[in-house]
Every structure is written in structure tokens, then in C-alpha cells.
Structure 1
Amino acid sequence: MTVRVGLTGGIASGKSTVSAILAGLGAVVVDADLLAREVVAPGTPGLDAVVAEFGEEVLTPDGELDRPAMGAIVFADPAARQRLEAIIHPLVHRRGAELEAQAPADAVVVHDIPLLAEGGRAGSFDAVVVVDVPAQVQVERMVRDRGWSREEAESRIAAQATREDRLAIATHVIDNTGSLEELRERVEEVYADLRARA
């Protein structure tokens, strides 16, 4: 049987690296971030709905969603973020279900969902894998790797679920404060456990 897994972690936790390792091990990965881009690509009903809600100023000159402009709006205003999520989340959920339906019957299907704890959908999965690092590590990585200010990094963390909220929904925790080799070993352990459920 298919094992449905929710994968989540705070910003700059290393969730994308874990997702890539899982895919390399044979998991079918459904990436909510990629789907969120797909459902608001130029010419989609999703992008039309975003423009209808927020106006033409969230578009680039070539008609794509201006992500930095959209981010500036929604991270400063929780109500605006909820309006955007009300458009995008159902579209992403529907597309993810389509991809899952195409997976082999005995697959480990990993739904890579940054906002899993916030969305209240943890209970719909057979297992929830949380990539965990302390907030200080998240801030250091965003400042070092993304060139963000400490204030920008802290505001992004504050806009997400708390570390405690994520850990509360976890069936498996992957600590990502060590080396890449240590991370890979832990992901392999978790994947073996998930495969055993299939």
C-alpha cells in the first residue's frame, strides 16, 4: 500500500535537502512549493484569481507573479496572507492529489509542505517527518546563504508555526544541525522505517 508522508520544517531548516535525499532513495516527492508556482503560472486560473484579489501591481512586466512584491504584502499583513492562501492552497492540494494518484501502489509518497503545521492537515498523513533546527541556526543560514538581514530572517520565522508546534505533529524528527553525511544517515533510517509501513 502507499504510505502517505507529510514532510515539513521551518524556513532554512534543510527540508529541501531532505526532500532531495528521499527522492534519491526512491520516494515519490510531491513538492508543494513547486506546485504553488505551477498553479499561478501565467495563463492559469490561479494567477487570474490572485490578480483579481490583489491587483495588477503583483505582476512583473512580463505577466508573471512578482514573488518579492507578493511576499512584501503577505508577510506584513496576516489577513492578506490568509486571502492568498485561500486561493493557492486548494489548487495545490488538488494538484498534489493528482500526482499522488499516479504513484505506484507500494510507493512512499512524500508531500513536501512547508506550512503543514499551520494548515492543520498533519492528521491526513500516515507519518509526518519534521526537519528540525533551532531558530538561531535558521537565522544564521538565512543571513549567510540568502543575504537577508537578521530582522528579515526573524520576521519570516515569526510568520511560521513555532518549532514546538511542528515537533508536536512529528512521527519522525530529523535533526539537521550536523554534517550532510549525518543528515543522509538519519534520512536513510527514517526512509527504511517508512518503507516498512508500505
Structure 2
Amino acid sequence: MKEGIMEKLKEHDGQFLFIRETLNRHDGQFHRIMEKLEQHDRQFLFVMDKLKKHDEQFIFIMKKLKQHDEQFKITNKKLKQHDKQFEFIMKKLKQHDIQFVKIDKRFDRVDERFQKIDERFDRVDERFQKIDERFDGLEHQVDFLAEKFMEHDARFDRIEARLEETATKKDMSHVMSTLDKVLGFVTKIDQEMTMMKHGIKRLTIDMERVKPLVGLA
């Protein structure tokens, strides 16, 4: 019986040894499990930190997207304003085209007026030419009259000398009448020259008035 008890105790010792070894293995496994759990905790913390950063990035991205939406709205508004401005500019350009057409027509009318002024200048030049010719004729006549006066003076001197000897009142009257006619003719020529000078003066004044209109002043 004692031997049986000893065998039982040996069996129990073996079982306790097995249990202890098993518990030791379990302790090792639990230790590894705890290490794994700690690693998982660290990984979860890392993941949570990453998720938090992602959340912040998403918030930043959403904020940026919202800003972009606002910028797109502003851009679209600006583009609409530009469209209106372009329409206004095109309208103005069209008005300018119409004004240029009117200006071209006015230039055509101005050209016509210049043409008429040139024609008037040609006529004025012709009149000046005629006046010069008349002056030449008058100067020739004056020279001729001067010569005649000199001849008449000589004749009058001779006539006076002879009249002093033989002239009657009738002869003196005839001579004086002739002198009056000659003097009247000379006076008429002098008046014509004076009138021509006034005409030239008026033409000169008219030309001075016309010069600013044609850009010659």
C-alpha cells in the first residue's frame, strides 16, 4: 500500500511538473500575447494618429475646395463682367466705325471745299494777272501822257510866247479849254488807279482771311 501511495505521489509530481511546465509555457505565451497587444496598441495609436492627420488633411482639402468654389464663382462673375465689357467695347468700336465713315465723308466735303478754294485762287490769280496787265497798260499810258505833257509843255511855252504877241481872248479860251480836258483825262486815270489799288487791297484782305481756313496761316 505504501508503494501504491508513492507511485501516486510520483504521478502527482509528474502531473504538477507538467502543469508547471504548461503554466510556464502559458506565461510565455501570455507574455508574447501582451507584447503583441502592446504592439497592437502602438499600431492603433499610430493608426489613430494617421487618421487624425488624415482628418486634418481632409478638413484642409475641403476648406481648399470651398475656397476654389468661391474663386470659381468670383471667376465666373468676372468673366460675365468681361463679356459685358467686351459687348460694350464692340458696341463702341461699331460706333467708332460709323463716326469714321462720317469723318471720311466730312473729309471728302473738305477736299471739295479745298478744290473750290483752289479754283477761286486760280480765278484770283487770273484777276491779279489782268490787274497787272492793266497796270502795265496804265503805266504805259502814264508814260505816254508824261511824254505828251512834256511835248504839250513845250508847245504851251511856244504858244504862250506867240500868244503874248498875237493871241486873242478867244484863242486863250480855246487853249485853256484844251488844258482842262487834258487835266480831266489825267484826273480820270488817277481815279482809276486809285480804285484799282483799293480793289487790290480788298483782294489782299480776302486772301488773308482765307489763309487760316486752308492752313496757310
Same fold (TM over 0.5): no
> Which is higher, the Rg of structure 1 or of structure 2?
2
User: Which has the higher relative contact order, 1 or 2, with Cα contacts under 8 A spaced 6 or more apart?
Assistant: 1
- Per residue, is there more strand in 1 or in 2? 1
TM bracket (short chain): under 0.3
- Per residue, is there more helix in 1 or in 2? 2
